Structure 1
Amino acid sequence: MSQMIIAEVPRFILNTLNHLYEIERKLALHGDSAGIQRNVERIKESFADEKMFYEDPMGQPFTETRTDLEASISGEGTENLVVTEVIKPVIRYGDKTYSRVVQKGIVVVKSSTQELQGEAE
């Protein structure tokens, strides 16, 4: 699976943002007993000052027309797809109102109707 870079950004910046996303995700899962989230926020602010930020698409709806994500479909259904796992976040250049994608997110999607059926059983 090749990673398409839409705007020219040094690879080390993309790698750093991907690792920062992973750190933030692990903190959310395992807690932040050492107060590391504050440091993560400061690093994110430093990147934001340079107009670089990442977006976590977890839980967002997915359609085939969405151009900022590369998705693998999990399960059998293809209706009402929702992002259930984020392997790499969407990395953008700009600000929250107007930005360009510099790295597509890599995600796993699943039919939300399939999950509802599984809970009913």
Structure 2
Amino acid sequence: MNQQFKVPKEYIELLDQLFEIERKLETIQESNSIARNINKMKDVFENLNSNSGESSGGLVYHNPIGEAYNETRLDLEASIAGNSTENLFVTEVIKPIIRYRMGGSTLIIRKGVVVVESKN
């Protein structure tokens, strides 16, 4: 999928806000009703092109917290915390990875911005 794909910056901002709400929701007890609303909004973004006659496609975000990191990873911009650069893992997500997904293909719309640390 090598074609350029323009996404309105307002969509990116909305996805960032959904991500922040979802993160804050993890600390709240009895969060089921809010989680349902977030999932419905995420579903709208995932199916943006469903009604436009094109093949189904939409925007999704991914939270890479806890994932391994190395310099060959193309979907993240990382700041390294600490002195070691070996055995790095994502310890904080400032902005999630945003992708456009159509069929079985995905295109990175925006790299995630993260902090990584060594697990040594």
**What's the % identity of the aligned pairs?**
45
One-letter amino acid of the counterpart of residue 14, structure 1: I
Give the alignment of 1:24-43 within 5 angstroms: 24-33=22-31, 35-43=33-41
1:71 to 67, 72, 78: 78
RMSD: 1.7
Q: Report the Cα distance in structure 2 between the residues aligned to 1:74 and 1:96, rounded to whole angstroms.
A: 37
Aligned length: 108
TM-score by length of 1: 0.83
Deviating above 4 A after TM superposition, structure 1's stretches of 4 or more consecutive aligned residues are: none
Give the alignment of 1:1-121 within 5 angstroms: 7-33=5-31, 35-50=33-48, 51-95=58-102, 97-113=104-120
**Structure with a larger share of its residues in helix:** 1
Q: CA deviation at 1:98?
A: 2.2
TM-score by length of 2: 0.84
Q: CA deviation at 1:30?
A: 2.6
Q: Report the Cα distance in structure 2 between the residues aligned to 1:72 and 1:43, rounded to whole angstroms.
A: 30
Q: Which runs of 5+ in 2 are unaligned?
A: 49-57
Q: Report the Cα distance in structure 1 between the residues aligned to 2:31 and 2:100, rounded to whole angstroms.
A: 32
- Considering Cα pairs closer than 8 Å and 6+ residues apart, tell me whether 1 or 2 has the greater RCO: 1
Q: Report the Cα distance in structure 1 between the residues aligned to 2:94 and 2:25, rounded to whole angstroms.
A: 16
One-letter amino acid of the counterpart of residue 46, structure 2: A
